[in-house]
Every structure is written in C-alpha cells, then in structure tokens.
Amino acid sequence: MQFDKPATTNPIDRLKVVGQPVHRIDGQLKATGRAKYAYEWHDPNVPYVYGYPVGAAIAKGHIVSMDVSAAKEAPGVLAVVTALDVGERKKGKFNTAKLFGGSEIQHYHQAVAVVVAETFEQARAAAALVRVEYAEEIGAFDLKDAMKTAIKPKDVGGAPPDTAVGDFDGAFKAAPVSFDATYTTPDQSHSMMEPHASIAVWDGEALTIWTSAQMIDWWRSDLATTLDVEKEKIHLMSPFIGGGFGGKLFLRADAVLAAFGAKAARRPVKVALPRPFMVNNTTHRPATIQRVRIAAEHTGKITAIGHESWSGDLPGGQLETAAMQTRLLYAGENRMTAMRLATLDLAEGNAMRAPGEAPGMMALEIAMDEMAEKLDIDPVEFRIINDTQVDPEKPERPFSHRDLVSCLRLGAERFGWSDRGRPASRREGNWLIGLGVAAAFRNNLLVPSAARVRLDHEGVITVETDMTDIGTGSYTIIAQTAAEMMGVPIEKVVVRLGDSRFPVSAGSGGQFGANCSTTGVYAACVKLREAIAQKLGFNSEDATFENGEVRSGNRSVPLAEAAGSEGLAGEDTVEWAKLADSHQQSTFGAHFVEVGVDIATGESRIRRMLAVCAAGRILNPITARSQVVGAMTMGVGSALSEELAVDVGRGFFVNHDLAGYEVPVHADIPHQEVIFMDETDPYSSPMKAKGIAELGLCGVSAAIANAIYNATGVRVREYPITLDKLIGGLPDVT
Amino acid sequence: MRAFTYERASSVEAAAKAAASNSQARFIAGGTNLLDLMKLEIETPTHLIDINGLGVDKIEGTQEGGVRIGALVRNTDLAAHETIRRDYGLLSRALLAGASGQLRNKATTAGNLLQRTRCPYFYDTNQPCNKRQQGSGCSAIGGFTRQHAVVGTSDACIATHPSDMAVAMRALDAVVETVKADGSRRSVPIEDFHRLPGDTPHIETVLEAGEVVTAVTLPPPVGGKQIYRKVRDRASYAFALVSVGAVIQSDGTGQVAVGGIAHKPWRIATAEAELPRGAKSTADALLADARPTEQNRFKIDLVRRTLGAVLTEARG
Ligand SMILES: Cc1cc2nc3c(=O)[nH]c(=O)nc-3n(C[C@H](O)[C@H](O)[C@H](O)COP(=O)(O)OP(=O)(O)OC[C@H]3O[C@@H](n4cnc5c(N)ncnc54)[C@H](O)[C@@H]3O)c2cc1C
Ligand code: SF4
C-alpha cells in the first residue's frame, strides 16, 4: 500500500476496538511469568551451556597477547573464544564500534573473549582467569576539551548539520531583549530492566538465535555481516523484550558472542551481558553542550533564535541531534542551528529514547523559561505567542496538525498554573515549592512496515509481523487493529511478533512503531478483506466486516465459513509517499510539574506532574498512558539523578551499575496525570495516529528544572540538578 | 565467583576456631554483601562458615538497663522491636533508611557493621584499589569522588563506610561483643571498632583472625529527641551522601554522629560540646581536618546544613 493521500473514512474510524481501553493481551502471560524473555527459552531436551564475556580493561589501545590456558583448564569449560581467534570482522551497518574481533581496543569493556562452560558459575569464574596484555594508547574522554576540535559532519541522519534563515546575528544584536546561555546534559544509560541476552544454536550452517532486539531485520542483517554467513541462514526471534529504550535497536555483543561460543563449543549457548557491560560495552545517550540564544521584542515575539550543540562519539560515529527541534518548535524570522561532533574514545554513543529532542528540549525549554522571565511574560503565554502553524524554516510547509497551544492552555487550567508565584516565594515547612512548565515536541517518523494476516476455518485471525513489543503494548494495538478491520472481537485475534520468518515491520524505535506497524497490519487486512470478498463473489468496495461476518447487500457469511478449510491470507507493506515533504508531521504536548526542594539539604522531590499530549488518534488509552507515564518517570531521572560519571583520566563510565547510576525509584514518583487531546491526523496514516512514547519524555526534565528555579530562585544549567548544585544558593539554615 | 566449600558452624567458639585456622575462610551471615563481592571476585574466600542458627539472634535487656542485640538479629526485626522503637528511636530510623525491605529481611546486625565500602573503583577489578589489593594504588583519588570521604582520609584511600545503622550505633555509644579464636571474649566500643584507612585501607576493623561478633550492646536509654536524617539523590534505595544521627536533649546538649563522610561513622567529642551553640560551630569542629576533593567539597556545606535542619527539628 502506498500512503500518498490524506486518509479519509475507513473501517478504523468505527472505533469499536481501536481507541478503546483494552488491557494488554499479553498482560496475563507477563504477570504470571509465562512470557519467555530471551535468556529464558528453555527446552529440557536441549543441552544449553553458558557463555560469559570478558571486556577490555583499557579504554584505548591494542591487545598484545592473551593467555587463556588457565581459563581453558578451569572446571566445566568447553571453549574459550578470543577476539584474536576470530580476527578482524566486517562490522554491522548500524554499529559504530566493532562488537568482537581483532586486536584493537576502541573503548572500555569492548568484548575481548567469551568463555563457555557447563554452568553459568563455571563460565564466570573461568572468565576471570583470562589474562590479557595490552598496549595502552592515550584517548580523548572529556567533551569539554574535545569540543574544541569538533567537526561539522556532512549530514546528520539525512538533514544538514547547520541551518540558517534571515540574519540571526544582526537580529540578535538589534533586539531589545536577548538571552544567551550554555547548558549541559550528561551521558545517560538506557538501564532497561532486561539485560542484553541471546541464545545461539547452530545446525550445520544454519543459526537460530533468541535475543532481545527492537529491530529484528537490522539485527539479522548485521549479525550475518559480522559472522560472515548468509542472512537467510539466520533465524532470529525476539517475542518479548524487557525494555530497550533504544539500547536494543542495533546488534549487540551478546548475540555475536553466543554465536561464536556456540560454534566453538558445538552446543547451544546462552550469553547475557552483565549489568556493568550495559554501560561501557553497549551504547549510551551522549552528553551534550548546548548554547541557546533567543532575542525578542518586548511583546514577547521572538525575532531571533539560535541553537548550537556539541557532542562526542568514537571515530565514524554520529552526533546527538540536540538542535533539531529548534528548527520547528517556535516562530522567529531569523534563525540558526548548528551541530558539531567531537571525537571521544568512550563507548559508542547512540540512540536513546527520543534521541536529539530529549536532550535538546532539556536545554531549549529552560532557555524559554529564562527568556520569559527576562521579558516578564508568563512562560505559558510566551510559548503561545511564538506558536507557528508552519515550518518556520520553510513557511510553505504547514504542520499536518499542531495543537501545542491547546495543550498549554488546558494544562495550565487543570494544573492550577495561576497559583505559581515569583521565584522562591512559596514555602511549606521545610519545603520550598515551585511550579514549572515546558513544551513537549517530537517528530512523527514514518517507516515502511509489512504484515501477514490469515483467517482460518474457526474464524480466527492470525497476524504475523516481525514487529517487536518492548513493553509498549504492540501485541495489543495490533490485535485491536486487526479486530477492527476484520470486524471480529479481539479474542478472535492471535498476534505473533518478533520473528524473522514474519514480514519485516517498522520495528520499535523513534516512536514510529505503533503508527507504522498498525498501518502495515491495516494494509494486510485490506488485502485479506479483498481475498474474502473475491472468494465470496462480493464487491470488496461495499463488503462490510462486522460481528464476525462479512456482509454485502442482504447476503452475509460468517468469516469462519468464508475461510473454508484452507483459510485465506493477506500480506502487504505500507510505503510512505511524499506527504511528509509537503506537511511537517510532529507531536506536541505540555508538561507541568510541581516540586519541593528541601530548604536545608537541597534535595528536590517531585510532588505532582501533568502531561497533556496532542499526538493524533490514541490507539489505546491504557497503553498510551503507560508510555507517557513511563516517559515522565524517565524525565525525572534525567532531571534529578541520572548521569554516567566519566573518569576522564581512565576513560570509562565509573558508575556502571544500578547502585551507582540512579534511576528513579517508586518513592520518587508521585501522582502523575496524563491528558490526551481528542484529535486525529489524517496525514500520518489510515490509523490517523502518531507517536506518543517519546513525546512523553521531551520537555519533562526542563519543566522540572524550571520548577526547581521557581521554588528556589537558583538556576541550574547543568543536568542532573543534584543538591550540590543548589545548596550554595539556598538560605542559611544554621 | 570462585568455587568454595561450606560448613555450618556448630557453635560460636567452633566458628571462631575454624575461621582462625583458614585464612581463606569467611563467615556468612545474611550474605547480602559478601555474596555480591564474591560474584565480582572482590572477595575470593575458598571456604564459608555459616553462622546462622547459633542462637545469637535475640534482643534482650542487659543488667545495666541497656539492650543486647544479637549479631544475627535481622535489620527488619531490629528496626521493628518494641524496645528499640521506644528507647532507641534513632537506631530504628537509621535502619529503615537503609537498603530495601527485602535486603533488611536478610541483613544482620554484625553483617551491617562489617559491610564494605561502595567506592565504585573497589567494585571494578580492572582498576587499582588499595583496599581490594594492597599497594595497587587508589583509582578514586583524581577520579570520580562525589560520594567519597572528606575527613579522616589518607593518601591510600578515601572511601566511606556506607552503613546507616552504624551511624546510629556510634551516636548511641554501642559496644561490640566478640568471641576470639581462643574462646576468649572481649567488648570493643564502637568508636574503636572501625579503623581509618591510613596505609592499610584493606584492614577495616580491629577484629582479629577468626574473631566472631556475637552481639552489640547499647547503654541504658538516654531519652532526648532522636533523629536520623539521611540525605541522598533519590528518595529511597540509595546510600547516603551525608547522614546525621543525633540525640538532642532539651538543654541543647546531645550526641551526634555523621555518616557518608569518612571511613567510619564520624563523631568528635569536642564538636559535640559545641551542640548548644548550634550547627555551624558543631559542624566546623566535626570537619576541622577535612580534606575534600573538588567533587565532594559540597559535603562540608551539606553536613552543616543537615545538622542545622536536625537541630531545628529537635527544638520544634
Ligand atoms: C542493593 C543494596 C542496597 C543497600 N543499601 C544500603 C543502605 O542504604 N544503607 C545501608 O546501611 N546498607 C545498605 N546496604 C548494605 C546492607 O545493609 C548490608 O549488605 C547488610 O547489612 C550486610 O549484612 P549481612 O548479614 O547480609 O552480611 P554478610 O554479607 O553476610 O556479611 C558481611 C561481612 O560481615 C562478615 N560477618 C557477618 N557476620 C559476622 C559476625 N557475626 N562476625 C564476624 N564477621 C561477620 C562477613 O564475613 C562478611 O565479610 C545495601 C545493600 C545492597 C545489596
Ligand atoms: S578510595 Fe579506597 S576503596 Fe576506593 S579505589 Fe581508593 S583505595 Fe580503593
């Protein structure tokens, strides 16, 4: 299916199943522990053994020699495979740092060996016996230093690194009110609950692999490249995933090590990455340094807006696109954005939930708050004054649908925004209380997505697509889509995901999964409807699918009967034509937060949060709310505690476990409220839905930062806003 | 984790004797700290002596009117005990500020006192650490030191003792009772129990080879307002950046120990004498010899401010 015209009325608009608060169809499996995650596949007849990785002990350099004799002799050991054994390999298309092979060390904890033994404990103990001699080289680990030699890449994910409209410098200088500040965001870790884990089983040249992957086809292709086997020989499955947040978008070392380990040991091998590896072996969200400049008239109308960002990565890597949203979010005739990439020898920087916008909004939306204060205009009003209905860099491109203003107004009303006082003016006992706001913004991305839908003689609809459910609710919204399209109750739908034998879907990433994968299912259902109508001799245009029957004129046939003993199937791929060129598709929202800051210790604790989201049709308010609430929680961590501490001398992230890298715990999260605007966007897809999962994160941390400022009068521009950055500005309590 | 043998001790004396005869042996109590360290091969005992079930798990009154807490009393049970809640509220509050419900169900009184530092370099066997491997160097000095000690440090180690419970015990003048390998008993005031790092940060207490902690006693209740204030980056399940355990009497005198700033709970008699004059002079005296790093200098201010909040609460 080519989606090349805005959607008109279609069966989804019936909203009998889609849009309804349907509980997760896989919820019971998960709550009862029967949903099998990668490491948990266990066939009692299969003699699984265990692989344990060895990571580089240096940040940069070469392996001079390796001594695995002690490891090989350790009890239970079946095989030891080293990076030198497998030698230089081709690297997967989506990997910046190599995952395994060769003598070069590009970052700390890069895999240098895998030890396979009969038990996990034996493998781990033997892994500690591997001796490696390194030749260490000097690396770059400090972004503040490295930014001085940062380069301008040719393009950033298909977009230019720089944009300029009008005369930014002139307008900035000429404006009656202007503001210029620099912000920093730290390196962050996905820290999903389930570690990266894989089971590899060879049968001759054929490899079966259970893993935890957000993108089945990307993993399969890159695994084939890395192992140098034919892609068709690899069967990869990832039906349940315990969180990913972008950390499982790209092939990781667990799959590669399991495959090499299994080959060497001639046994099925399980490999899970230990928690510290998740930080220094896999990817992370890179730190940024961002400069934001805003100039305006006294009325609040922005005349110039500029955003520059610096981040680092390994050679050949990519930058964090933190200035991207500033090209689209606010009006202003004179504009500039620029993004630069420095070389750092830390582990690979890559996508983490809402790459670009998450850290970009952390800076931009504090700057908007600071500028509003300078103008003495309420920050909600300041944002409304500068709303735009067109792409401000290309005014001929309207937004397909943009309702930021309603999000801000409704949120302000519901949250009691008018109670907000001057900075440091409200106190309850030992708590300084403040309110903060920020806009939410994230683009709506469109990726091809395919599915296959079958109808059997019992009237059961089975959907197969390699789409993944990373905890988001994909199983459920796909079942809802098929049920709606085929006119059956959801109980009649079976959804099978995460298997490379199924048609290639959008996968889970960039908040495109829900809209794109359900559209792929929609397209396949259209094909199946046609097949059914054709078989029955109905005109597919006027065939109605309802109550488990297909009806045309006064003839109606139960679907089970229509299927016949052979059953019927439909398969299709949605391709996205040029609609996004003429119309900018984005999602919008507003975050409101109330914080308390302890007047003595500077500890900041969240008291209330509200997100208002305008993201097209909400396919399921339960799963959508869960995405937003989770994103808001992630935003709390990012505002208050999450920071990978870089040892700039030794070149690694020091706090590489969940004790040192502090994500929020239950006690940190108070009442959270989410409101969805009742809207549809026909430009986005026949589902008229857009992404929501990343929108919920974009802006939250800035709203918290702004609330802390409102509570204390202390402005912190370096995330996370820990107490040490506040206490110097708090009143004397001794 | 290396392979190890395991025995269940038949008595405290037998446990002490067995441990003294094997330098590679360790006692296991709740195991919540030891097992983690063994998995990472930070500790590599070849033999474990299980001291659960030896009867040293009771809370009872002492002749002097205080309380004796068995070494194997679980943190949960101790925090919930009526006598502790009524007469030693500081201890109960400190315990509940630590770890999580599940961990406290397992963790024991002795194990808590003997838990090891949370310095991140101590946990990474690729990095030099004098505490883990004597003489290898200290990675923290010059590295990431936000959590580290500001006072009582040495050039060999700047780690903190992470226990909340121990801070309360220190403020309450606890005494640690032990049985040595030769069967003799001794009582060590908690003040002398933990050591400063000096040149030997790997030696953390005065316990001798094989010596078993059997109980911790507290003197008769001292009344007063008993406050434990733990300051941290998130609301729960985090170690203290700074914590203050205090018993404050109505005349403004009292007892105060500080956690998160040194290799042991930090209490200074001359500082305590300043309590009636307020938080500033008390904190100044507590931290007179402080040698903070750039990254943890804030702890100096934080101790003063937290103590201020505690004294305000005590007055209120
Ligand atoms: C995730 C996590 C979070 C935590 N958070 C906190 C926190 O916020 N605050 C806090 O204070 N603590 C915290 N802890 C630490 C916890 O309090 C300790 O792990 C626990 O108290 C140790 O007690 P245990 O009985 O399990 O000791 P074990 O692990 O059994 O033993 C610890 C050490 O003591 C020795 N030992 C034990 N008993 C005796 C004895 N009777 N005589 C001689 N030697 C003995 C053992 O040989 C071992 O060396 C946390 C721990 C974890 C894992
Ligand atoms: S501070 Fe102490 S524990 Fe930490 S690295 Fe240095 S010696 Fe080891």
The verdict on A432 and A454 lying in the same domain is no
Please, are residues A219 and A251 in contact by the beta-carbon 8 Å criterion? Answer: yes
Q: What is the mean pLDDT of residues B267-280?
A: 97
- Closest residue in A to B277 (Cα) is A734
Q: How many domains does chain A have?
A: 2
Among protein residues, the one with the nearest Cα to ligand 2's atom 6 is B138
The verdict on A461 and A490 lying in the same domain is yes
Q: Which amino acid is at A97?
A: A
Q: CA A168, A174, A176: angle at the middle one, nearest 5?
A: 120
Q: What is the mean pLDDT of residues B131-142?
A: 98
For residues A526 and A528, give the distance between their C-alpha atoms in angstroms, rounded to a whole number.
5
Taking all residues of chain A, what is their mean pLDDT, rounded to a whole number?
97
Give residue-wise pLDDT tens across range B68-102.
999 999 999 999 999 999 999 999 999 999 999 99
Task: Verify whether the Cβ–Cβ distance A641 to B278 is below 8 Å.
Answer: no
Identify whether A504 is part of a domain. Answer: yes
- Interval between CA A646 and ligand 1 midpoint (Å): 28
Q: What is the token pair recorded at A187? A: 């390196």
Q: What is the pLDDT of residue A157?
A: 86
The verdict on A575 and A500 lying in the same domain is yes
pTM of the model: 0.98
Task: Sort out which chain B residues have CB atoms less than 8 A from A640's CB and list them.
Answer: 233-234
Identify whether A57 is part of a domain. Answer: no
Task: Give the pairing type, strands A269-272 and A49-55.
Answer: parallel
- Interval between CA B158 and ligand 2 midpoint (Å): 6
Calculate the CA dihedral of residues B92, B96, B102, B104 and round it to 10 degrees: -40
Identify whether A676 is part of a domain. Answer: yes
**B60 CA to chain A: closest CA distance, Å?**
34
The verdict on A438 and A450 lying in the same domain is no
Q: Ligand 1 pocket test: pick from B68, B108, B160 the residue with the most ligand atoms within 8 Å of its Cβ.
A: B108
Of A73, A136, A694, A718, the active-site residue reads A694
The verdict on A404 and A453 lying in the same domain is no
Task: Verify whether the Cβ–Cβ distance A667 to B1 is below 8 Å.
Answer: no
Task: Sort out which chain A residues have CB atoms less than 8 A from B132's CB and list them.
Answer: none
Residue in A649, A722, A733 closest to B312 by CB: A733
The verdict on A668 and A550 lying in the same domain is no
Please, are residues B109 and B214 in contact by the beta-carbon 8 Å criterion? Answer: no
For residues A186 and A721, give the distance between their C-alpha atoms in angstroms, rounded to a whole number.
11
For residue A421, the domain's CATH number is 3.30.365.10
The number of angstroms, rounded, from the C-alpha of A455 to the middle of its chain's C-alpha atoms is: 33
The verdict on A696 and A604 lying in the same domain is yes
Please, are residues A92 and A101 in contact by the beta-carbon 8 Å criterion? Answer: no
SS3 content of chain A, % helix, strand, coil (to 5): 30, 30, 45
Domain boundary among A530, A557, A580: A580
User: What pairs with residue A80 in β-bridges?
Assistant: A115
Distances from the Cα of A110 to the Cαs of A93, A101, A146, A274, in angstroms? 18, 10, 22, 13
- Closest residue in A to B244 (Cα) is A601
Q: What is the token pair recorded at A195? A: 């570690």
Q: What is the pLDDT of residue B66?
A: 98
Q: What is the token pair recorded at B96? A: 């509940």
Q: Ligand 1 pocket test: pick from B6, B22, B28, B32 the residue with the most ligand atoms within 8 Å of its Cβ.
A: B32
pLDDT under 70: residue ranges of chain A: none
Q: What is the pLDDT of residue A580?
A: 84
The verdict on A619 and A569 lying in the same domain is no
Q: Give the three-class secondary structure for A665.
A: coil
Rg over alpha carbons for chain A, rounded to the nearest Å, is 27
Q: Ligand 2 pocket test: pick from B42, B118, B121 the residue with the most ligand atoms within 8 Å of its Cβ.
A: B121
Identify whether A483 is part of a domain. Answer: yes
Residue in A125, A646, A727 closest to B2 by CB: A125
Please, are residues B62 and B129 in contact by the beta-carbon 8 Å criterion? Answer: no
For residues A114 and A267, give the distance between their C-alpha atoms in angstroms, rounded to a whole number.
14
- B3 at A interface, C-beta within 8 A: yes
Quick one: CA dihedral A88, A93, A96, A97, positive or negative?
negative
What range defines the domain where residue A670 resides?
378-444+585-729
Give me the interface pTM, i.e. the ipTM.
0.97
Q: What is the token pair recorded at A439? A: 């806009």
The CA-to-CA distance between both ends of chain A, in Å, stands at: 70
Helix (H) or strand (E) holding A338: strand A334-343
Identify whether A140 is part of a domain. Answer: no
DSSP A241-255: -S--TTTTSS--HHH
The verdict on A672 and A605 lying in the same domain is yes
SS (HEC) of A417-486:
HHHCCCCCCCEECCEEEEEEEEEEEEECCCCCEEEEEEECCCCCEEEECCCCCCCCCHHHHHHHHHHHHH
DSSP-assigned letter for residue B219: P
Q: Which amino acid is at B101?
A: G
Quick one: CA dihedral A90, A92, A94, A99, positive or negative?
negative
Q: What is the token pair recorded at A370? A: 């600071």
Give residue-wise pLDDT tens across range B159-177.
999 999 999 999 999 999 9
Task: Sort out which chain A residues have CB atoms less than 8 A from B308's CB and list them.
Answer: 600, 733-734
The verdict on A460 and A573 lying in the same domain is yes
Give which of A109, A654, A663, A712 to mutate to test B binding, by max B Cβ within 10 Å: A654
Domain boundary among A520, A555, A580: A580
Task: Sort out which chain A residues have CB atoms less than 8 A from B99's CB and list them.
Answer: none
Rg over alpha carbons for chain B, rounded to the nearest Å, is 19
CB atoms within 10 A of CB A732: 10
Residue in A430, A668, A734 closest to B235 by CB: A668
Q: Ligand 2 pocket test: pick from B43, B123, B139 the residue with the most ligand atoms within 8 Å of its Cβ.
A: B139
Identify whether A707 is part of a domain. Answer: yes
Task: Sort out which chain A residues have CB atoms less than 8 A from B123's CB and list them.
Answer: 657
Q: Choose among A113, A112, A109, A107: nearest CA to A61.
A: A107
Task: Verify whether the Cβ–Cβ distance A666 to B143 is below 8 Å.
Answer: no
B214 lines ligand 2 (CB under 6 A): no
Identify whether A141 is part of a domain. Answer: no
- B231 at A interface, C-beta within 8 A: yes
Task: Sort out which chain B residues have CB atoms less than 8 A from A276's CB and list them.
Answer: 124
Q: What is the pLDDT of residue B316?
A: 84
Q: What is the token pair recorded at A378? A: 């309420």
- B44 at A interface, C-beta within 8 A: no
Identify whether A573 is part of a domain. Answer: yes
Cβ-Cβ contacts under 8 Å for A654 (sequence gap 6 or more): A645, A646, A647, A660, B120, B121, B124, B143, B144
- Interval between CA A709 and ligand 2 midpoint (Å): 36
Task: Sort out which chain B residues have CB atoms less than 8 A from A660's CB and list them.
Answer: 120
A694 a catalytic residue: yes
The verdict on A550 and A597 lying in the same domain is no
- B257 at A interface, C-beta within 8 A: no
A with B: how many residue pairs have Cβ under 8 Å apart?
Answer: 106
- Interval between CA B62 and ligand 2 midpoint (Å): 39
**B314 CA to chain A: closest CA distance, Å?**
13
- Closest residue in B to A76 (Cα) is B3
Atom number in ligand 2 closest to CA B145: 1
Domain boundary among A549, A580, A611: A580
The verdict on A639 and A541 lying in the same domain is no
- Closest residue in A to B313 (Cα) is A430
Q: Which amino acid is at B243?
A: S
- Those of residues 197-226 in B touching chain A at CB distance below 8 A are none
